[in-house]
């Protein structure tokens, strides 16, 4: 059975839109029958017009623009849009191709630069034509790690300390001095950053070492990397994610933490060889 649609009267419409979106034309004895025909074509119909003099019923695939248009004064026409819930949410959009009518639910996506703590948003159209959302699109702090205090288990060269992984320089050439590198004989290399406040950690990105002017490809060293978070240096044990690798030259590895991951510190650990990181980005949401 087709879903029953509700309609709202609109005073006029754009004749260009009428021409471009006409889906079906019929002759029907009443305006209600014309609306019922729109409901039959629920996946297409977004508006209809019915003429009380000629009894013409026109079904359109776009909704009417209610801006006054002088050409719409033709005698006898009545114009109706399918009544829907708002299809935008604050700082986000609903992923729905069909019509957003009461009882309909849809996933939604936050705009670039925004994110959710729960990891997803469901939007529902209620009986009052209001859009209800299960979560909020919060502003993402996209530079949560930039310039923050950092530390690593060992450092191979004092010219490339832990801090160059959060220096904002995304050069992946080791010789540029923008990549960290743990030292020889380190059995459990790690690197960590102190965000200096407890945040919801949404995403951690690792920028891997790229083509070096030394001619050496060391990109495969980034493998079996564990990303954890925690509130103190002694308890960085909350799992965010894992990158099996091996990494490729200059690869930007994106690790999305589970919903509700909280922490002040972010730590990256591997179990073999050297840990080399050219930049670490932390996307976070303030509590
Ligand atoms: Ca860097």
Reduced to 3 states (helix: H, G, I; strand: E, B; else coil), residue 146 is coil
Of all helices (H) and strands (E), which one includes residue 266?
Answer: strand 262-269
Integer Cα distance of 6 and 97 in angstroms: 18
Integer Cα distance of 170 and 123 in angstroms: 38
What is the radius of gyration, based on Cα positions, of the chain? 29
β strands within 102-169, DSSP E: 105-110, 114-115, 121-125, 131-133, 138-139, 150-152
Reduced to 3 states (helix: H, G, I; strand: E, B; else coil), residue 84 is coil
Q: Which domains does the chain have, with CATH numbers?
A: 7-82 (3.50.4.10), 88-139 (2.10.70), 150-285 (2.60.120.260)
Tell me how far the alpha carbon of residue 139 lies from the centroid of ligand 1, in angstroms. 24
Please list all protein residues whose beta carbon sits less than 5 angstroms from ligand 1, which is an ion.
164, 167, 169, 178, 278-279
The candidate with the shortest Cα–Cα distance to 144, out of 90, 198, 222, 83, is: 198
- Say how many C-beta atoms besides its own lie within 10 A of residue 212's C-beta: 17
CA 124 to chain CA mean position, Å: 18
- What integer pLDDT is reported at residue 117 of this predicted model? 94
pLDDT tens digit sequence for 240-286: 999 998 999 999 999 999 999 999 999 999 988 899 999 999 999 99
| pLDDT level of residue 17 (50, 70, 90 thresholds) | low
Tell me how far the alpha carbon of residue 179 lies from the centroid of ligand 1, in angstroms. 5
Tell me how far the alpha carbon of residue 193 lies from the centroid of ligand 1, in angstroms. 13
Tell me how far the alpha carbon of residue 220 lies from the centroid of ligand 1, in angstroms. 18
Query: How many CA atoms does the CB half-sphere of 209 hold within 13 Å?
Result: 27
- What integer pLDDT is reported at residue 189 of this predicted model? 95
If 0-12 CB within 10 Å is exposed, 13-18 middle and 19+ buried, where does residue 164 land?
A: buried
pLDDT tens digit sequence for 175-224: 889 999 999 989 899 999 999 999 999 999 999 999 877 778 888 999 99
**pTM to 2 decimal places:** 0.79
Tell me how far the alpha carbon of residue 8 lies from the centroid of ligand 1, in angstroms. 57
Tell me how far the alpha carbon of residue 146 lies from the centroid of ligand 1, in angstroms. 10
């Amino acid at each position: 059975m087709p879903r029953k649609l509700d309609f709202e009267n609109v005073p006029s419409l754009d004749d260009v839109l009428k021409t471009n979106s006409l889906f079906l034309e019929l002759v029907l004895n009443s305006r209600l029958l014309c609306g019922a025909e729109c409901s039959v074509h629920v996946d297409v119909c977004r508006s209809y017009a019915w003429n009380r003099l000629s009894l013409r019923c026109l079904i359109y695939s776009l909704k009417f623009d209610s801006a006054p248009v002088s050409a719409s004064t033709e005698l006898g026409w009545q114009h109706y849009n399918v009544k829907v819930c708002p299809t935008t949410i604050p700082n986000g959009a609903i992923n729905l191709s069909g019509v957003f009518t009461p009882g309909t639910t849809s996933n939604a996506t936050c705009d670039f630069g925004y994110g959710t703590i729960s990891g997803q948003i469901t939007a529902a159209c209620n009986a009052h034509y209001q859009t209800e959302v299960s979560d909020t699109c919060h502003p993402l702090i996209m530079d949560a790690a930039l310039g923050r205090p950092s530390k690593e288990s060992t450092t191979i060269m004092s010219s490339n300390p832990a801090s160059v992984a959060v220096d904002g320089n995304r050069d992946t050439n080791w010789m540029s001095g923008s990549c960290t590198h743990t030292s020889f004989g380190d059995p459990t290399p790690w690197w960590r950053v102190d965000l200096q406040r407890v945040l919801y950690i949404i995403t951690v990105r690792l920028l891997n070492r790229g083509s070096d002017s030394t001619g050496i490809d060391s990109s495969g060293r980034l493998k079996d990397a564990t990303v954890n978070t925690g509130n103190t240096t002694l308890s960085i044990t909350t799992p965010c994610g894992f990158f099996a690798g091996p990494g490729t030259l200059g690869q930007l590895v994106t690790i999305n933490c589970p919903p509700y991951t909280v922490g002040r510190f972010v730590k990256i650990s591997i179990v073999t060889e050297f840990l080399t990181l050219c930049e670490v980005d932390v996307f976070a949401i303030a509590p």
